[in-house]
Every structure is written in structure tokens, then in C-alpha cells.
Chain A
Amino acid sequence: MNIEEYIESGQLELYALQQLSPAEAAEVERLAAEHPPIRAELISVQRALGLYAEAHALTPPAGLRERVLSGFQQAIQPQSAAEPATPTEPAAPYIAPAAPHYEAAPAETVVRTLPAAEAGSGFRWLAIAASVALLLSLGANWLFYSRWQQSENQLVLAQAKEQLYAAATQAVEKRLATRTEELGILRDEQFRMVVMTGTPQAPGARARVMYNPVSRRVYVDVKNLPAAPSGKQYQLWALDKGKPVDAGMLAQTTAVGDSLQRMKDVASAQAFAVTLEDAGGHPTPTMAALTVMGQML
């Protein structure tokens, strides 16, 4: 190898400027160790750069000395207490305790390649901090997951309840509508009240018919009727000039006095009667089974 040429190549300058890859830098160091002229040139280059750096020397502002020195003391204190004078490996290349700034080497590598206890400890602390953060995060995840599950269950329950309420409200509204209608009938002056009283077969029986001759509507309201035997059903009759006209069957709920029931429209009537017939009704009333009867006043 031509030493002169090597010196002239500018490689030593790039080394001193930390522009070489680790492999190239190691090559320069090896050659410098082997060839005194290269070593002398390298040191001369380094001194020249040192001179240039020094030309920029500048007294730091007042107070900086105290701040930096005490900051330094603080920074090294935990380490020196924990590991007093632990020798670090002296294997790093001389010129660059950090990797050279060559090509696209990221800035971070420079810091990490330093075999410094401070850097190692910093990493340890970072690792510990990261582990703690991970554990906290796992704990939080578990907590949030179980809360989420809980919320999910509560939501399902709430939705079921809400459906129940909705159904109940519908039922109530329906009943309210019925009651409102009934109240309307009772307050309507066009309706005629026909009180039906029990026959000798059912002396305690009582029922009423509300009849509107104008609209022809008929409602029945049971106060008390003997329970219908199975297979039997009460039937309402309108008597028009003595002739019975079918006014419809009483529903089970009506028979027990739950509410008013609208019956078939009746064109004209002077009296009403209820007989106990076979379920589904009969074209003509069975007079023997007459339960209640009343005249329109």
C-alpha cells in the first residue's frame, strides 16, 4: 500500500470528521497503528480540527458553571452510589465513542453505541418504566373490559325492562282508551240507561244496558251475574214491541263485570233481557234461562 497516496486520499480527514462507517473507521485505526506516518498525519488532522473548534471558544454565561457542575453531580449520583467505579469496557474506537455520523446513520445510534453506564442505566430505567407502564395498562385494560362487560349486561337488562314498560304502557293506554270511551258513554245524554234486575231464578243478578236510540249503539254493563257454567254463555236480547232481537253475546270479561261491552246495534227497543244460552248463542231466547230483564223508562 502506498502510504503517501493513502494520506493524500482525504480518508483521514473524513475519519476525523466522523464521516466514516464503523468498518472504514476501524480500517483507519488499524492503518494508523501499523504505520507511524499515517498516525502522525491523523493526529495532525485532529489537532487542526481541534484548533478550528477552539477558534469558536466562548466563555459560557455567568452561572452556567454552577448549574452544569451541580447538574452533573446530580446526574451521576445515583449511579456512583449503586455501582461505584464500575469499569466499562474500553473497546470502543478512540475517535468515536459514538458511531460516526456517516451516511444515513440515524442520530439515535450515536448515543446508544456508547458503552456508557449512564446510557445503560437510562435504558434500564426506561425498560423499568416501560414494564410498569405495560402492567398498568394491562390492569387498566382488564378493568375497562370488565366494566364494559358489566355495562353490556346492564344495557341488556335495561332494554328488557324498557320493553316491559313499553308493553305495560300500551296496555294501560288501551285500557285508558276503553275507560275514556266508557266515561263518554256514561256522560252522553243521548244514552238511555236500562236497569235489568234478576228473575226469580237469579234474584241477586243485576245488569244495565246503555242504549242510544239515535246512534243505535248498545252497551252492556254487568253488576252481578251468576257464573256461567262451562259451555254456556250469556246473550243479550233487545225486545222491540215484545219481539226479541239478538243483541250479541256477552264476553267472559263482561259477564264478570270487568267493563262495558259494545253490543250489536239495535234499531228500536223498549226492553232488554239476558238469557243463559249455549256458547255461541241461539237465534231465539230460551225463556226458561232468562236471568235479568229491564224496561226502558
Chain B
Amino acid sequence: MLPESPPAAEQQLVARLRAQDESAMTEFYDKYSAALYGVILRIVRREEEAEDVLQEAMVKIWHSFQSYDASKGRLFTWVLNVCRNLAIDKIRSRQYRVSSHSQPLDESPAERQPAVDSFRPEHIGLQELTRRLNPEQRQIVDLLYFEGYTQSEVADELNMPLGTVKTRARAAIKVLSTLIR
């Protein structure tokens, strides 16, 4: 099964970004900001920092756009990784500065505000996802994806062999995949 090629709108946006058309970034923002902001906020947990990271990410995406290879995957996957990396860098540098100020997750604004504006038709809410993933699976994905943990850190944290981290991550993502169809 080969994946379908990206929609024409995405191809157009990519072409404009590659041509360094600044107005394309406005369209980019309108299309992706909610998803990117949500992920960034989930990682950094502070609204001002999330805003900074989002802006940094826009600049980084703009300047490094030539390194995006559409044949290897969707634009969203690529920009998501740019944002995740910047956000994780942010919390890592913060951990060096102050370790005591991190907010607990349930106080994070991400938990209070409703998710809106999806650009994907198959969008599923967080409630639905958490219902489908069992707690162990969700924990592993969250640690790896949102907390900036390495696999070995996860293995240490959850006191399990490295191989188990790998198979649980696969199992969790498999569950997520089934929700797309």
C-alpha cells in the first residue's frame, strides 16, 4: 500500500515556501498553527514560551525549507518535528536553569482549552485517543514524544528493558494507525 500523494493545496503551499514567498507563511500559519501550538504548549507548558517557540519555529521552517523533501513525507510531519525539537530544546535548557518551576500537567492550559480547527478530515479528539490507548501505551508515547525522553531514559524511568520500550511504542502507534482508517 503506497500512501496517497499530498493534496494539491499542500503541494502549492510547499512550492510557494520553496520560492520564499513570504505571504505563504501566513497561509501556513492559518493552516497549521493550532496543531503546532497545541503540541508546543503540551511540551513547554507555558503560554509565553509556546508563543516564542512557535515564532522561532516559523523562522526556522522558513530558512531551512530547502531541506524539506516532499518525497519523504508530508509537510505536517516535517514541521511538527521542527516544532517538537525546538520545544524540547526549550524545556531542556530550562531544566538546566530552574528545575523546580515546572507546572504539573493538570494545571497546563492545554488541558483546559478545547481543541478546534482541524485541517485533517480524520481528526480525532484527545478524549477519543486516550480512550483507545491504554495508560501504558499513552505514557510511553508521551514520554518519547512530548517530554523529550530518550528510549533509554524511558527504560530507566519505567524500569523495563530497552526492547520493551520499542515494542510498546510500536503497539501504541499501531493503535493510533487504526484510528486513521
Do A and B make up one complex? Answer: yes
A10-B170, A104-B150 known; A59+B69 contact, CB < 8 A: no
Q: Taking the complex as formed, is B156 at the interface, i.e. its CB lies under 8 A from any CB of chain A?
A: no
Q: Taking the complex as formed, is A56 at the interface, i.e. its CB lies under 8 A from any CB of chain B?
A: yes
CB neighbours of A95 from chain B (8 A): 72-73, 77-78, 81
CB neighbours of B67 from chain A (8 A): 88-92, 97, 114-116
Q: Taking the complex as formed, is A8 at the interface, i.e. its CB lies under 8 A from any CB of chain B?
A: yes
CB neighbours of B77 from chain A (8 A): 16, 46-47, 49-50, 95
Among A19, A36, A95, find the residue whose CB has the most chain B CB atoms closer than 10 A: A19
CA distance A19 to B88 in the complex (A): 13
A46-B73, A56-B115, A110-B89 known; A102+B150 contact, CB < 8 A: yes
* Min CB gap B14→A, angstroms: 13
- Encoded as 1 (CB less than 8 Å from any A CB) or 0, chain B from 70 to 85 comes to 0111101110111011
- Number of A interface residues in the complex (CB < 8 A): 74
CB neighbours of B141 from chain A (8 A): 52
Q: Is the interface of B mostly helix, strand, loop or mixed?
A: helix
CA distance A58 to B22 in the complex (A): 24
- Point out residues on B near A: beta carbons under 8 Å: 1-3, 19-20, 22, 25-26, 29-30, 33-35, 37-39, 41-42, 47, 51, 54-55, 58-60, 62-69, 71-74, 76-78, 80-82, 84-86, 88-89, 92-93, 109-110, 113-118, 120, 122-126, 128-129, 141, 144-145, 148, 150-152, 166-167, 169-170, 173-174, 176-177, 179-180
* Min CB gap A13→B, angstroms: 5
CB neighbours of B25 from chain A (8 A): 69, 72
Which residue on chain B has the smallest CB distance to residue A32? B72
Which residue on chain B has the smallest CB distance to residue A63? B51
Q: Taking the complex as formed, is A108 at the interface, i.e. its CB lies under 8 A from any CB of chain B?
A: yes
A60-B33, A76-B22 known; A51+B66 contact, CB < 8 A: no
Q: Are B88 and A60 in contact (CB under 8 A)?
A: no
* Min CB gap A103→B, angstroms: 5
